[in-house]
Structure 1
Amino acid sequence: MGDHNNFEMQGKKHLKDMSETNNSVKQQQCPTRRILIVLVVVVVVVIAILAGVSVACILLLPSHPDDTPPEKCNQLPPRFGNECQHPCHCLNLTEFCNKETGHCTSGCLHGWIGDNCQTSIYISVTVEPKYQVTVPGSTKILCHANVSNYEWKEIHLDYTNDTATQRILSILPTASSPIFGNKANATIFSKNDMINISFGVRIPEDMAYCNTKIVLTCNIEFLDKTLGRKNDTGTVLVKGPPTNLSLDLEAQYITGVDATLNCTATMDPNNTMLFLVGKETTAREPTMAPTINVQTFVEQSNDCGPKVRVVYPADFTFLRSNSFLACIASDKYYGKNFTSEYKTPSITIIN
C-alpha cells in the first residue's frame, strides 16, 4: 500500500515537471516567432524600397542611353546639346560645332565670344535727336557708337534730301576734330568701347525756301569687314521762311464806305502770325492795327505751304494817323519778324 502511494506521488510529480517544461518551451518559442515576424516585415520593406529605386532609375534614364545627340543635331543649321537646344555660332556657318560643348574649330562668328561662342557682343550706333525742327544755319546731332573693343576704320556723316545722298564728312581714328570745308565739323569723345561724336552741320540760308526734310546718317565702318557697317539716322526738318508776303490795298478809302485791307503770305499758320502795322513817318516805330472783326482765311496752294490771308476792316482812325502801312509775319522758329513793303493808302474824307 505504501509502495502504491509512493508510485502515485512520483507520477504526479512527473506530470507536474512535464507541464512546467512545456510551459518553459512555449515561453521560449514566443520571442522566436516575434523575431521571425519582424524579419519578414523588414525584408518586405527593403524589397519595396529597392523596387521604387529601380522604377526611379528607369524614369531618370536619358532619352539617349548611348549619350549620342538626336539626329536633328546633324542637320543644318548646326546645333548642340542633349536636345540640340543651342545653335552653333561658328565663323564657318556650315561647321557642326562640338555636340556637347559647342566649341567651334573655325572660331566664333563675329558678335559672339566664349569657349562655346554663346556670349553675344553688342555693337550699336545711336543718333540723337531722332527728329528736330530747325531753320537755316547750324544744327547739331550726336552719334553714340558702342564698338565693343572692335577697331573701327572710319565714321561717316551722310546727308540725304529728296533728290540725292551726299557724304559730307569722314572721320579717321587718328583725327581729333576734322573740319571739311564749311559744310560740317565734328568733335570726338572716346571712352573705352564707347565713341561719342558731336556733328555740327551748316544748313545754307538759300536752301530752305520751302520746308525741307533731310536725313543725317552716322555710319561706322570696321577694319574687320565681316562685321559689316552699323548706322543710325536722324531726321531734320528745315523750316522755310514766310514767303510772298504782301499788303493789298483798295484804290480808294472813303469815309463811311466799308472797305478792307489784306495781308497775305505763304506760311505755316500754326507757327507764324500775320498782322497789319502802320507808322506815321518812316522814322517811327510801327504800331499794330486794331484786330476787331479781323478774319483769317487759309487756302491750300501748290507753293511751299498754305496761302494765308488776314482781312482787316478799314479803321479810319488808324488810317488817318498812320501814313505808311505794311504786313508783318512773326515766325516762332526763326524768332524774328518778316516785313512786307510799306505802302501809303489813298484816303478820301467826306464830312
Structure 2
Amino acid sequence: MAFVSACTSSPSEAPKASSHEMFLTDSLKKVVSVDTVQLHEVTDELTLNGRVTFNQEQVARVFPIFGGTVTEVHAEIGDHVRKGDILATIRSGEVADYEKQGKEAEQQLIIARRNLQSVQDMYTSGMASERDILQAKQELSNAEAEAKRISEIFSIYHISGKSLYQVKAPVSGFIVEKNINKEMQLRSDQNDEIFIISGLENVWVMADVYESDISKVREGAPVRITTLAYPGREFTGHMDKVYHMLNEESKTMNVRVKLSNNDYLLKPGMFTNVYVQCKASDNELPRIDSHALIFEGGKNYVVTVDADGRLAVKEVDVYKQLSRDSFLSSGVSAGERILNKNALLVYNALNAD
C-alpha cells in the first residue's frame, strides 16, 4: 500500500527518473498481473451493430392439419416443450370422417376374415374352389391394408377420438410465437402457423456491414460480442457466413455469427455490438493488452519487469490501438515482461518524488 499512497504525479508533467528502485514483491503480485510481450500480425477491429435471432436451422413451424374449433390450448409463448408434448386440442368434422372410415375398415376386416374362414370350410367339403380361396384371401389382404392405413392416419395426425385431434410439438424447444386461442375457428386451408418452436441452445447474431467496410470482413474471422444486458461480459465466436448481397434500403450487407447459448443468456431480439477482427497488414509487431498502456503528457508508457523483478518505466510508440489490444512500433521487444493490471499505480509510485 505504500506505493499506492505515493501516487502524486501530475498529469501535465512528464515522468521523472525514479529516485528509488521497486521490485515485484509477493504482496505486489496480489494486485498486479504480468504479461509477456509477443509478436503478432497487425490486425484491425471493425465494430458492427448486431441483433440476436433464432437459429433458423432449429425452428419448427406448426400448422393445423384439419380445420375445426380449438377446444384446449396447452402452451404459451416462452414455455419450454419437449418433442411430443400436446400443444392444443381441436375438434374437427374431418376427423369425424376419418373415425367413420376407421369403423368401416374394422367391420370390413371382420367380414373378410369370416368370409375366408367360410370359404375354407366350403373348400374342405368340396363346395368351393382354390380360386374362391384366393379371392377371399385377396379381400382379407385389402381389408387389412385399409385398416392399417386408417390406423397410421390416426397415429400421424394424433386423432384421439370423439372428433378430436391433438397438435403435438414436432421438436423440443421454446414456444416463440403463438397464433391460436381457445374457441378459435381454424380453416383447413389456413396457411399461417399456429405455433413456432425454436431451440435456444444455439442462436444467430446477425450484423450489418456498411458498403465501405465490406472488404474487411471474411468468413472465419474471430469476433467478440457484447450486450447491454451483460456489461463486462463477452461472447466469442467466428463469422460463419457472409451474405454477398446488399439491402437496397439500408445499403448494408448481413453477416452471421453462430453462438452456443446453453445457459439461455442470449435472447432473440437483443441488440449487440459485434467486434470483428480483420487483417490490417502483413507486419508482425509486439502486441500488448491496452490496459497496460499509460498515457501522460502526450506520450505512452508501460511498466516493465526484468529478470530480477525490478520494475521500470519505458516509453513506447503505439502503432495501432484497439479496444482490447495495442500494437507497438518501438519501446519494448518480444519476450519482455510488462504489467497489464494496475500498471498506473506502479507507474505513479515509480515517478513519485
TM-score range, shorter chain: under 0.3
TM-score normalised to the size of structure 1?
A: 0.25
Q: If you compute each CA radius of gyration, which structure gives the higher value, 1 or 2?
A: 1
Does 1 or 2 have the higher relative contact order (CA < 8 Å, sep 6+)? Answer: 2
TM-score normalised to the size of structure 2?
A: 0.24
| Structure holding more helix per residue | 2
